[in-house]
Amino acid sequence: MHEKIHRVVIIGGGFGGLWTTRGLATAPVRITLIDRANHHLFQPLLYQVATAGLSSPDIAAPLRHILRDQRNVEVRLGKVVAIDVTRKSITSKDGTELAYDTLVIATGATHAYFGNDAWAPHAPGLKTLADALHIRQRILSAFESAELAASLVDREEWMHFAIVGGGPTGVELAGMLAEIARHTLRDEFRNIDPRRATVRLIEAGPRVLGGFPESLSAKADAHLRSLGVEVCCGAPVTAIDATGYALAGASVKCRTILWAAGVAASPLGALLPVARDRAGRVLVEPDLTIKNHRDVFVIGDLASLQQDGKPVPGVAPAAKQMGAYVAKLIRARVERPEKFPIANSNVAVSKPFHYADYGNLATIGRMSAVVDLRGFRFSGVFAWLFWLAAHVFFLIGFRNRVAVLLNWATSYWTYQRSARIMLDSENETR
């Protein structure tokens, strides 16, 4: 009997993968969860690590630790390089093959440069902890370089910061950067005045926070300007290199460009024999399986699904809901195979996945946010407190949430950011 237990392989330990795993806690299955990193990352707060407000362990917890009591899971550190849906197996980079009865792919998204991959080294994006630490190092180094600059021209280049992309991440980064320049670094330099740094947020579309209602975009825009951010909408960046960027025909000297503009699906989607959308996301069936392979699920940011004429957005709540849905379906199939057959049929017998959209929120610097709860819209300090409560609530399961709150509380009182540590001037990217 033991050797016939249903094997579930889950690739990716983000919100989608972890919620699938937890949803199967009491199911009669054997789960292998594979991730390239040893931790689950609370991505909504990643910008806080990038801007030195929080340190890595505040928002990351080892997957093994989260799942230590769930005895039907084995966590593996590894990178998947091949998927064979016919033989029903996956292969890791170290050559290990692993057979599955059900496969769940939840490897999310990475940042994309719209075909301009040469921009990547000059405009780092923010998806992993390593990205966040790299951006932190870049920001802190820029002020150090400005302080030591040999000429005024050099100094100006180091004191100009550009953030490309006016979505929630871009808005959060711009707000924090303005706060660091205006308040955090106050009095610390002798040759420069950090308050004179310019922070420019560049959005190709007509307004920041394009996914929000216009009234909230306008609020965010006004608040960013009050923080001293230059908001430039309506024109795309057309070139980026080590010396700066080009915008609306003019080239601007700039040494610190951060990329918050585009996301592309994880390359793992390309290993599947199914169609993908323009961003590389896998087109999934209403039950989140892929066409002709009802034993393969794709969830989270990697999945492309239309609902009520709109795409399901690539946000944490959607990934969690998908994970919970898939766990329930797998369990039903294993426990009641007569009712939920896995056999390859194109007719999905199960109830389709439905994304419940509870709203959208984004924060803008210190004590300000915009919230859109199904049409109920508000902004300002109250929105920020709502944002904080929601995030701290969802940090549950991380043992550091008290420490996170404490760090935050002191940050907000003192304008200080406790994680302003560069490892060594010799090791810039560590």
Q: Which residues are catalytic?
A: 172
Query: Residues 148, 275, 381, 389: which binds its own copies (CB under 8 A)?
Result: 148
Q: Judged by CB under 8 A, does residue 38 bind its own copies?
A: yes
Binding to its own copies (CB under 8 A): which residues in 396-425? 399-400, 402-403, 406-407, 410, 414, 416, 418-425
Residues 67-86: x where in contact with its own copies by CB under 8 A, - otherwise, as a string: xxx---xxxxxxx-------
User: Could you tell me if 231 and 221 are in contact, meaning their C-beta atoms sit under 8 angstroms apart?
Assistant: yes
The least distance separating its own copies from the CB of residue 392, rounded to whole angstroms, comes to 16
Quote the crossing angle between the two packed helices 381-394 and 401-414, to the nearest 10°.
160
Binding to its own copies (CB under 8 A): which residues in 157-216? 185-191
Nearer to its own copies, 38 or 350 (CB): 38
Nearer to its own copies, 132 or 204 (CB): 132
Q: How many CB atoms lie within 10 A of CB 215?
A: 11
The least distance separating its own copies from the CB of residue 57, rounded to whole angstroms, comes to 4
Query: Residues 12, 23, 27, 39: which binds its own copies (CB under 8 A)?
Result: 39
Q: Judged by CB under 8 A, does residue 311 bind its own copies?
A: no
Query: Residues 3, 308, 338, 426: which binds its own copies (CB under 8 A)?
Result: 426
Three-state secondary structure call for residue 329: helix
User: Could you tell me if 232 and 247 are in contact, meaning their C-beta atoms sit under 8 angstroms apart?
Assistant: yes
Nearer to its own copies, 351 or 430 (CB): 430
The least distance separating its own copies from the CB of residue 192, rounded to whole angstroms, comes to 11
Q: Which one of 30-38, 229-237, 246-254, 328-336 is the stretch in contact with its own copies (CB under 8 A)?
A: 30-38
Q: Which two tokens stand for residue 278?
A: 């323009």
Q: Which two tokens stand for residue 355?
A: 């994304």
The least distance separating its own copies from the CB of residue 127, rounded to whole angstroms, comes to 11
| CA dihedral (294, 299, 303, 307) positive or negative | positive
Strand ranges (E), 18-108 = 29-35, 39-41, 60-62, 73-77, 80-84, 89-92, 97-99, 102-105
Residues 6+ apart with CB under 8 A from 330: 6, 8, 20, 24, 27, 29, 102, 104
Q: How far is CA 317 from CA 17, 320, 400, in A?
A: 13, 5, 21
Residues 6+ apart with CB under 8 A from 324: 19, 20, 23
The least distance separating its own copies from the CB of residue 95, rounded to whole angstroms, comes to 10
Residues 84-103: x where in contact with its own copies by CB under 8 A, - otherwise, as a string: ----------x-x-------
The least distance separating its own copies from the CB of residue 350, rounded to whole angstroms, comes to 30
146 phi/psi in degrees, rounded to 5:
-60, -40
The least distance separating its own copies from the CB of residue 420, rounded to whole angstroms, comes to 5
Tell me the CB-side half-sphere exposure of residue 387, using CA atoms within 13 A: 25
Strand ranges (E), 254-409 = 256-259, 262-265, 282-283, 289-290, 293-298, 303-304, 306-307, 310-311, 360-363, 369-373, 376-380
Binding to its own copies (CB under 8 A): which residues in 360-379? none
The least distance separating its own copies from the CB of residue 156, rounded to whole angstroms, comes to 19
Binding to its own copies (CB under 8 A): which residues in 43-62? 55-58, 60, 62
Q: Which one of 122-130, 165-173, 282-290, 389-397 is the stretch in contact with its own copies (CB under 8 A)?
A: 122-130
Phi/psi region, residue 252 (left: phi>0; alpha: psi -120 to 50; beta: rest), is beta
Q: Judged by CB under 8 A, does residue 133 bind its own copies?
A: yes
* One-character DSSP codes across 130-181: HHHHHHHHHHHHHHHHHHH-SSHHHHHHHTEEEEE--SHHHHHHHHHHHHII
Nearer to its own copies, 132 or 284 (CB): 132
Residue 416 is classified by DSSP as: -
Q: Which one of 11-19, 128-136, 197-205, 365-373 is the stretch in contact with its own copies (CB under 8 A)?
A: 128-136
Binding residues for its own copies (CB under 8 A)? 36-39, 55-58, 60, 62, 64-65, 67-69, 73-79, 94, 96, 128-130, 133, 140, 144, 147-148, 185-191, 399-400, 402-403, 406-407, 410, 414, 416, 418-427, 429-430
